[in-house]
Amino acid sequence: MTVASAEGSSRGPGADELTGFGDWLAERVAARESQLVLGLDPDPARLWPSAIRRAEANGTVAAPPATRAARAVAAHCALAIEATGEHCVAVKLQVACFERLGAPGWSVLAETAGRAREHGLLVIADAKRGDIHVTAAAYAQAFLGETPTPFGPVPGLGVDAMTVNPLLGRDSLEPFTTAARAHGRGLFVLVRTSNPGADDVQERGLVDGGSVSDRLAALVGEIGAAGTGQSGLSDIGAVVGATAPDRLHALREQMPHAPFLLPGVGAQGGRIEELAPAFVPGPAGALIAASRGIVAAHEQTGGDPAAAAAREAGRLRALAWRVAA
């Protein structure tokens, strides 16, 4: 790890690609003294008013709604990153919220990833993609790699990590794993999500013992073993909902080296104080993702959205750092 890459933003060309994502994540968490992930899931109907003003000041009212909404989303995300970035180690971009604005939304997804990198933040694409082998490889090109074409390679988003859905099994994860390792990136595999419906499928008991989530955890543990770095963290992480703290201990045992991405704090009811078992591998053993809890903090506290978001991010960061210690 070079000093330049440790001090700067996400790895660019020329950075040490031999260091896997687990070590890179450990380094970034230590450098930022934060496990907090700013979740960006922009709803065009609930943007910060300052974002709409900024976007419209630079734009033209003659543009189609998708373009104007995308510009406003870009401004909103930029303002949220400016306000809270210093408290965070990463952003988590909710791909659905960009995708619904079509091509302009996809452009803004890439732009927002770049903005986050400028602030020294890792970029996690919350894409939850999963498909059969050849299609999984295409998704991996879209997010982690590049696509060869007769006209030259088309670069993907180049995010540091992405979330993937393992319902299709081990062979559907392989192209993601291969692409992640080729580019020094990471994966967060859905193991136990934060929503009430997680019980419907993920927590069904298996005749072989454990639940579907336990089976997924075993799969993550197996695939991740080969990608464990000197930090003790693997490049293959797991999404584990902060709303199920009683499951953390068992899942951690099955995935001793996986970084956990923990959504569900705040609006969904998860409490950081209950997440200590996730941090067993060290301070970077888990990332705490908060979206509306930060960006919509002003709806609870009143006042300026940016100031409220910064306060809440600072509070969550300090709380997580203490719980992880």
Catalytic residues: 128
Nearer to a copy of itself, 106 or 321 (CB): 106
Nearer to a copy of itself, 12 or 205 (CB): 205
Size of the site for a copy of itself (CB under 8 A): 78
Q: Is 182 in the site for a copy of itself (CB under 8 A)?
A: no
* 49 and 37 Cβ atoms separated by less than 8 Å: no
Instruction: Write the CB contacts of 167 (distance below 8 Å, at least 6 apart in sequence).
Output: 130
Shortest CB 238 distance to a copy of itself, Å: 13
Element (H, E) at 180: helix 170-182
Q: Is 76 in the site for a copy of itself (CB under 8 A)?
A: no
Nearer to a copy of itself, 4 or 167 (CB): 167
Interface segment toward a copy of itself; rule CB under 8 A; list 13-21, 75-83, 196-204, 293-301:
196-204
- Which of 8, 16, 50, 100 is close enough to bind a copy of itself by CB under 8 A? 100
Beta pairing partners, 90: 37, 122
Phi-psi region of 209 (alpha: psi -120 to 50; beta: other; left: phi over 0): left
- Which of 72, 74, 306, 319 is close enough to bind a copy of itself by CB under 8 A? 72
Count of residues making up the chain: 325
Q: Is 21 in the site for a copy of itself (CB under 8 A)?
A: no
Pick out residues in 207-226 that bind a copy of itself (CB under 8 A): 207-208, 212, 215-216, 219
Cα separations (Å) of 316 from 17, 247, 291, 323? 31, 22, 12, 10
- Which of 29, 122, 124, 198 is close enough to bind a copy of itself by CB under 8 A? 198
Nearer to a copy of itself, 175 or 285 (CB): 175
Residue 274 three-state SS:
helix
Binding letters toward a copy of itself, positions 124-153, x by CB under 8 A: --x-xxxxxxxxx-xx-xx----xxxxxxx
Cα torsion 25, 275, 119, 41 to 10°: value is 120
Residue type, 298: H
